[in-house]
């Protein structure tokens, strides 16, 4: 009997645009303050992609280029590329198609996954199946969003939360039993009313009226989303732990979606994990939607050791939520580091 191959994360790279929007700058734009934002969200600044004609694919391509460069992987070696995004460059072609073209990857399967903030974990779960069934040996999964393109910067309830960025991982078959050990993806469409973008799709195509009524921006009912996010992220993490006979003291790192520091802290508390074993980047990136988890892995890469047990958890609009249990495959401290321009740092 052939044992299915397990998909291991063998490299990670990220990119955030150079322009930074601080809390102090937001306080000039809307009725808020640095203290108010920091206390309620944990965010101090976020990166914003500026430049005419630059979309999500620009950041994603930068992350993928860095990933290929740091691993010495040729574009022709990649078998599949999946992009998790809520802010595609356009309705079609997919952002994944555009990324492949920009980095010179040809003649492979590529597609987008839309599951709001859970999209990166949905994509990891999908990608791992291609590794397991032997149809792919090198798969790139990208999480990227230009949230500034759908944020109303007159609405202090949402504009303080989001930033732009991209992160990418390389998946390959595991040779030593490490890799993606288990995953769960879940959804409840009844939650759409609490977090959505009304206009721009087939239900309400763009029109002068939809633009005038500001319906192309994120609509979020904060209290409802907060309550569901804490409950669902802790729930899916608990289910993963039970299925794999894990206890809190066995988890080396919790890698949560970076929506709000209070949500992160509450999720860790429910799992019995101290904050020193929780990856937190929300202070400098804000909520980058599909990029939050890969950016966490990129930021903390040097601290990761082979065999480390990671629990990844996310919650997003829809509602969607997901959990992934990973045994880390390599010594991050020995990995070659590059900055966003692809130069050694």
What's the pLDDT tens digit per position in 168-198?
999 999 989 999 999 999 999 988 888 888 8
Stated pTM of the model: 0.94
Task: In whole angstroms, give the CA distance from residue 295 to residue 337.
Answer: 14
Task: In whole angstroms, give the CA distance from residue 57 to residue 112.
Answer: 11
Class of domain 180-333: alpha beta
Q: Is 159 labeled as catalytic in the residue annotation?
A: no
Helix axes 34-41, 261-271, angle to 10 degrees: 20
Please determine, for residue 160, whether its predicted confidence score (pLDDT) is greater than 70: yes
pLDDT confidence of residue 226: 83
Residue among 77, 132, 87, 84 at smallest CA distance from 108 = 77
pLDDT confidence of residue 1: 46
Catalytic member of 23, 58, 83, 117 = 117
Q: Is 194 labeled as catalytic in the residue annotation?
A: no
Catalytic member of 23, 287, 290, 296 = 287
What's the pLDDT tens digit per position in 216-225?
988 888 788 8
What's the pLDDT tens digit per position in 263-301?
999 999 988 899 999 999 999 999 999 999 999 999 999
Any idea what the Cα angle at residue 283 is, between residues 277 and 288, rounded to 5°? 95
Task: In whole angstroms, give the CA distance from residue 321 to residue 185.
Answer: 6
- Residue 182 burial (CB < 10 Å; 0-12/13-18/19+)? middle
pLDDT confidence of residue 255: 98
The DSSP 8-state label assigned to residue 77 in this structure reads G
Helix axes 56-71, 95-103, angle to 10 degrees: 50
Q: What is the mean pLDDT of residues 2-9?
A: 83
Q: What's the token pair of residue 239? A: 């289910």
Task: In whole angstroms, give the CA distance from residue 33 to residue 36.
Answer: 5
Q: Which fold has domain 7-177?
A: Peroxisomal Thiolase; Chain A, domain 1 (3.40.47)
Neighbour tally for 305: CB within 10 Å? 11
Catalytic member of 257, 260, 290, 296 = 257
Could you tell me where in the chain the CATH 3.40.47.10 domains are found? Answer: 7-177, 180-333
pLDDT confidence of residue 142: 98
Q: What rounded mean pLDDT belongs to the chain?
A: 93
Q: What's the token pair of residue 6? A: 């397990």
Q: Is 249 labeled as catalytic in the residue annotation?
A: no
Q: What's the token pair of residue 156? A: 């202090």
Phi, psi of 120 (to 5 degrees): -65, -40
Task: In whole angstroms, give the CA distance from residue 213 to residue 109.
Answer: 39
């Amino acid at each position: 009997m052939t044992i299915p191959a397990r998909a291991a994360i063998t490299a990670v790279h990220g990119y955030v645009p150079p322009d930074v929007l601080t809390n102090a700058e937001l306080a000039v734009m809307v009725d808020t303050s640095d203290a108010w934002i920091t206390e309620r969200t944990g965010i101090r600044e976020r990166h914003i992609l500026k430049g005419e004609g630059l979309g999500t694919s620009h950041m994603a391509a930068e992350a993928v280029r860095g990933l290929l460069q740091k691993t010495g992987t040729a574009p022709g070696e990649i078998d599949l590329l999946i992009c998790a995004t809520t802010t595609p460059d356009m309705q079609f072609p997919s952002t994944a198609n555009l990324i492949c073209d920009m980095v010179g990857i040809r003649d492979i399967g590529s597609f987008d996954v839309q599951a709001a903030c859970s999209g990166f974990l949905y994509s990891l779960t999908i990608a791992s199946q291609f590794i397991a069934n032997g149809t792919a040996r090198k798969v790139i999964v990208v999480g990227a969003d230009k949230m500034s393109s759908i944020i109303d910067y007159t609405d202090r309830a949402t504009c303080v939360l989001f930033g732009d960025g991209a992160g990418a991982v390389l998946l390959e078959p595991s040779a030593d039993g490490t890799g993606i050990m288990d995953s769960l993806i879940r959804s409840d469409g009844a939650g759409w009313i609490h977090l959505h973008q009304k206009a721009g799709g087939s239900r309400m195509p763009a029109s002068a009226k939809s633009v005038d009524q500001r319906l192309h921006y994120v609509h979020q009912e904060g209290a409802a989303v907060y309550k569901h996010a804490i409950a669902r992220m802790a729930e899916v993490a608990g289910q993963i732990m039970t299925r794999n006979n894990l206890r809190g003291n066995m988890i080396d790192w919790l890698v949560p979606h970076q929506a709000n520091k209070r949500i992160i802290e509450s999720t860790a508390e429910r799992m019995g994990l101290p904050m020193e074993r929780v990856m937190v980047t929300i202070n400098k990136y804000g909520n980058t939607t599909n990029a939050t988890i890969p950016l966490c892995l990129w930021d903390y890469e040097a601290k990761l050791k082979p065999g480390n047990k990671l629990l990844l958890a996310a919650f997003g609009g829809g509602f969607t939520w997901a959990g992934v249990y990973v045994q880390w495959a390599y010594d991050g401290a020995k990995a070659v580091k590059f900055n966003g321009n692809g130069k050694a740092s």
